[in-house]
Amino acid sequence: MAAGPAPALAAAPAHSLRAGIIDALIAAFIALAIAAPIIGLRTVSLEGGLALTTRWGAVAIAVAVVFAGRLALTLLWWPRHKPARRDSAGRRLLARARDSGLAERAMLLLAPALLIFAIALPATPFADRYVLDIGILVLTYIMLGWGLNIVVGLAGLLDLGYVAFYAVGAYSYALLATHFGLSFWICLPLAGFLAAMWGLILGFPVLRLRGDYLAIVTLAFGEIIRIVLLNWYDLTNGPDGISRIPRPSFFGLEFDRGEGGFAAFFGIGYSSDHRIVFLYYLILALALLTNFVTLRLRRLPVGRAWEALREDEIACRSLGINTTATKLTAFATGAMFGGFAGSFFATRQGFISPESFVFLESALVLAIVVLGGLGSQIGVVIAALVMIGGFELFREFEQYRMLVFGFAIVLIMVWRPRGIIASRTPSIFLKERKSIGAESVGEGRG
Partner 1 sequence: MSARAQAATAARSEPAALAADPILTVEHLTMRFGGLLAIDDLSFSAERGQITAVIGPNGAGKTTVFNCLTGFYKPTEGMITMRHADGASFLLERMDDFRIARSARVARTFQNIRLFPGMTVLENLLVAQHNTLMRASGYTLAGIFGLAVYRKAERKAVERARYWLDKTGLLERADDPASDLPYGAQRRLEIIRAMCSQPLLLCLDEPAAGLNPAESDELNRLLRDIRDHHDTSLLLIEHDMSVVMGISDFIVVLDYGEKISSGSPHFVRNDPKVIAAYLGIDDEDAGTGGAP
Partner 2 sequence: MEYFVQQLINGLTLGSIYGLIAIGYTMVYGIIGMINFAHGDIFMIGAFVALIALIAIGLTAGAGLVIVILALLLALLIAMALTAIYGWTVERFAYRPLRTSFRLAPLITAIGMSIVLQNFVQVTQGARVKPLQPIVTGGYEIMRTTTEHGEFIVLVSNIQILIILTTVLLMAVFALIIARTPLGRAQRACEQDRTMAALLGINVDRTISLTFVIGAALASVAGLMYLLYYGVIDFFIGFVAGIKAFTAAVLGGIGSLPGAMLGGLIIGLIETFWSAYFTIEYKDVAAFSILVVVLIFMPSGLLGRPEVEKV
Which residues bind to partner 1, rule: CB under 8 A? 293, 296-297, 300-302, 304-305, 307-308, 310-312, 314-323, 329, 424, 426-434, 436-437, 440-442
Question: Smallest distance from the beta carbon of 171 to partner 2, in angstroms?
Answer: 17
Of 44-52, 120-128, 167-175, 178-186, which part binds partner 2 (CB under 8 A)?
44-52
Contacts 24+ apart (CB under 8 A), 351-354: 351/241, 351/242, 351/243, 351/244, 351/245, 352/170, 352/171, 352/174, 352/241, 352/242, 352/245, 353/239, 353/240, 353/241, 353/242, 354/167, 354/226, 354/229, 354/230, 354/236, 354/238, 354/239, 354/241
Residue 22 makes contact with partner 2 by CB under 8 A = no
Nearer to partner 2, 253 or 413 (CB): 413
Q: How far apart are CA 207 and CA 93, in angstroms?
A: 37
Q: How far apart are CA 374 and CA 140, in angstroms?
A: 18
- Out of 118, 245, 366, 421, the only residue in the binding site for partner 2 (CB under 8 A) is 366
Nearer to partner 1, 244 or 317 (CB): 317
Nearer to partner 1, 213 or 292 (CB): 292
Residue 85 makes contact with partner 2 by CB under 8 A = no
Nearer to partner 1, 140 or 333 (CB): 333
Site for partner 2 in 240-279 (CB under 8 A): none
Site for partner 2 in 413-432 (CB under 8 A): 413-414, 417-418
Site for partner 2 in 288-327 (CB under 8 A): 314
Positions in the binding site for partner 2 (CB under 8 A) = 1-8, 30, 33-34, 36-39, 41-45, 49-52, 152, 158, 205-206, 208-213, 215-217, 219-221, 223-224, 227-228, 230-231, 314, 359-360, 363, 366-367, 370-371, 374, 399-400, 402-403, 405-410, 413-414, 417-418, 443
